[in-house]
Structure 1
Amino acid sequence: MKAPRRYFDPLAIGAPRPLLELPLRLERMIHFVPPHNEKVRAKAPELVGQVDVVLGNLEDAIPAESKQAAREGLIAMAKATDFGSTGLWARVNALNSPWFIDDMTRLVGEIGDKLDVVMAPKIEGEWDIHFIDQYLALLEARYGLKRPILVHAILETAQGVNNVDAIAAASPRMHGMSLGPADLAASRAMKTTRVGGGHPDYRVLADAVAPHAERVSFQQDPWHYTIARMVDACAANGVKPFYGPFGDFSDQAACEAQFRNAFLLGCVGAWTLHPSQIVIAKRVFSPDPAEVAFARKILAAMPDGSGAVMIDGKMQDDATWKQARVIVDLARQVAAKDADYAALYRF
């Protein structure tokens, strides 16, 4: 174990010093772009005004014969686009793949000054993060970067879930982590081919009210446990939890329900794989104006967070003051980027 006082030391001579705090950035949706597709890549400047994060995807969904084209396309897109306050991320190939080394070397060497986060797939333990951490430091030193590139881990194996706390605490470079439900389902031998969301056969039955009477059943969320574990690990270590992909683009209601469950449990955003999901993520991960108005009432009635007051027939104390602070702080972040929400929140 590294000594606490050494935790924030640079890992290479000439590498930038690790950040003490994550940058305060709104990241409601991480929008995936297949950069080998020139037509889609050309829409990057338009996307910048619509999403919080643009991610160039180099891993799953990119055919092996298109891996190099995707890497070149991401580099070209990054060089040609002014991202402003919108984040630029890259999902690189897995650490054990033949493309990982070139992904990292080329991206850091050519667009490292623009790249905010490297998303790393199939992270199984802190050892994976330590390797990426050291390798990034060497590349940052080699290419003279002035700020560190952060790392985002995808939680998509049973071993990764088992080591989620150690992964979240592995490095000051950790940005956060996302649930990867498809690979995780395969790793656990779950009997589903769905990418995220519920399953009609994952249910509980209400008690029988009479012999032979039809019993009410309720569909359950098979991802609740994993999301809660991930949120706790991230919150305990000051990094950000995200819901990952929802694969059924035709079922917008189910997508919104899954995103909202994740939001209520503590996730700050989700992946958007299709343009239709951008609007859903924006709506879900921006707090409801009525909730913001009530939270502001609590803060106004308890400016220092102490004591207890009654508001609209409900008792409020220091615990609800903290909850209100979370909602209002997020609303201020959203309002700073989105004039429509600023008007709704009356900031």
Structure 2
Amino acid sequence: MKTPANFFKPLTIGAPEPIRELPIALERTIHFLPPHIEKMRAKAGQIAQKVDVLLGNLEDAIPIEAKEAARTGFIEVAKAVDFGPTGLWTRVNALNSPWFLDDMTEIVGTVGNQLDVVMIPKVEGPWDIHFVDQLLALLEARHRIRKPILIHAILETAQGVKNVNEIAQASPRMHGMSLGPADLAASRGMKTTRVGGGHPFYGVIADPDEGKPDKSKEQRAFYQQDLWHYTVARMVDACQSNGLRAFYGPFGDFEDSLACEAQFRNAFLQGCVGAWTLHPNQIEIAKWVFSPEVEEVRFAKRILEAMPDGSGAVMIDGKMQDDATWKQAKVIVDLARLVAEKDPERGAAYGL
């Protein structure tokens, strides 16, 4: 761990000053672009207008023979597209892969001033963040990057989840974390091949009817549970307590929009601010789910208006509101204002 006195000091001469607070940004949807595919690169400008973050994916789902093409394609997109308020991220290859070093040196060296966040897969502990932190500082200094490139960690190993709080505290570059359910399932030895979402065999069963003699043959209600509830909660606690942002990762069944919406909503209610979208039909789901509901925003505004300084207590519609609910209301209204800036139609519905 860095000592408090040195935490915000640049790691090398000429690197930009580390940030002390994350910039305000709307990040409901992190949309994954496979930049090795020419027709997808051609659509990048259109997609960027529809999403909050466009991420050039260089890691999983990119064939080994296409790794260099993906890196080159991402650089091409970063140079050609005017992203406006849309964030530009990349997911590089794993730290122990033969492509990681070239990913970092070529991307930062050519489009480092356009890049907002680099996503690091399979982070296992703070040592991984320290390594990337130092490397970025050296590259930023060499290429005169004006602002620090932030780091986003993917939790997809058991050791990473165990060390989640230490990862969150490892660097002032830390932007947030995402759940990586597929690799995490393999790391834990979980018995599922699904990418995110629940499992039909994971749940609780209703108590037996004591009046029936043979409980083994009784038909009883079964309620499917969320395999990822514990991990998402740990990730959210680590992120929120350290001023970072938590995200749900991929939902692999592109045809099951109802299940995708339910999983995203669970993550939103637990404190996640966004999710990955791997298919165009998931974009509007993420934007809808991770935007606060209209009636909730309007009620939150009433709380803030009734308690301008957040102190005391008031009654609204027969319900007591105090400083705790004022804080909850502020979270909702602040998010609604970000949504309104990018989506005027929703902003009008919010009354903002």
TM-score range, shorter chain: over 0.9
* Counterpart check, 1:224 vs 2:239: no
**Shift of the alpha carbon at 1:2?**
2.2
* Mapped partners of 2:46, 2:111: distance in 1: 20
Kept after mapping to 1: 8 A contact 2:2/2:170: no
Aligned counterpart, 1:254 = 259
* Counterpart check, 1:301 vs 2:306: yes
**Shift of the alpha carbon at 1:311?**
1.2
Aligned counterpart, 1:7 = 7
Per-residue displacement from partner, 1:186-227 (whole Å, max 9, x unpaired)? 000000000000000001011123425421111000100000
Aligned counterpart, 2:208 = 208
Per-residue displacement from partner, 1:55-106 (whole Å, max 9, x unpaired)? 0000000000000000000001111111111000000000000000000000
* Counterpart check, 1:315 vs 2:306: no
Name the SS of the counterpart of 1:170 in structure 2: coil
My pick for the range that moved more, 202-211 or 226-235, is: 202-211
1:334 alignment partner, one of 332, 335, 339 = 339
Aligned counterpart, 2:247 = 242
* Counterpart check, 1:344 vs 2:349: yes
Name the SS of the counterpart of 2:50 in structure 1: coil
* Mapped partners of 1:266, 1:108: distance in 2: 31
Aligned counterpart, 2:276 = 271
What code does the residue aligned with 1:106 have?
E
Residues paired across the two proteins, number: 347
Identity of aligned residues (%): 71
Aligned counterpart, 1:122 = 122
Aligned counterpart, 1:41 = 41
Aligned counterpart, 1:189 = 189
Aligned counterpart, 1:52 = 52
* Mapped partners of 1:240, 1:178: distance in 2: 9
Aligned counterpart, 2:149 = 149
* Mapped partners of 1:150, 1:314: distance in 2: 42
* Mapped partners of 2:29, 2:95: distance in 1: 25
My pick for the range that moved more, 332-341 or 273-282, is: 332-341
* Counterpart check, 1:23 vs 2:23: yes
* Mapped partners of 2:199, 2:72: distance in 1: 38
**Shift of the alpha carbon at 1:316?**
1.1
Kept after mapping to 1: 8 A contact 2:92/2:118: yes
Aligned counterpart, 1:282 = 287
Per-residue displacement from partner, 1:111-163 (whole Å, max 9, x unpaired)? 00100000000000000000000000000000011111000000000000000
* Mapped partners of 2:64, 2:152: distance in 1: 23
* Mapped partners of 1:284, 1:60: distance in 2: 26
**Shift of the alpha carbon at 1:304?**
1.4
* Mapped partners of 2:308, 2:78: distance in 1: 44
**Shift of the alpha carbon at 1:49?**
1.1
Per-residue displacement from partner, 1:280-320 (whole Å, max 9, x unpaired)? 00000000001001111111111111222221121111111
Name the SS of the counterpart of 1:5 in structure 2: coil
* Mapped partners of 1:162, 1:191: distance in 2: 20
* Mapped partners of 2:10, 2:78: distance in 1: 26
* Mapped partners of 1:193, 1:326: distance in 2: 36
Measured on the aligned residues, the alpha-carbon RMSD in Å equals: 0.8
Aligned counterpart, 1:75 = 75
Name the SS of the counterpart of 2:61 in structure 1: coil
* Mapped partners of 2:2, 2:158: distance in 1: 26
Name the SS of the counterpart of 1:6 in structure 2: coil
Aligned counterpart, 2:174 = 174
**Shift of the alpha carbon at 1:107?**
0.2
Per-residue displacement from partner, 1:211-257 (whole Å, max 9, x unpaired)? 25421111000100000000000001101100000000010000000
Name the SS of the counterpart of 1:4 in structure 2: coil
* Mapped partners of 1:2, 1:271: distance in 2: 31
Aligned counterpart, 2:93 = 93
Instruction: Give the gaps of 5 or more residues in structure 1.
Output: none
Greater than 2 Å deviation, 4+ residue runs: none
What code does the residue aligned with 2:96 have?
N
* Mapped partners of 1:227, 1:74: distance in 2: 30
**Shift of the alpha carbon at 1:25?**
0.5
What code does the residue aligned with 1:233 have?
A
* Mapped partners of 1:334, 1:110: distance in 2: 31
Name the SS of the counterpart of 2:18 in structure 1: coil
* Mapped partners of 2:345, 2:49: distance in 1: 14
* Mapped partners of 2:3, 2:204: distance in 1: 48
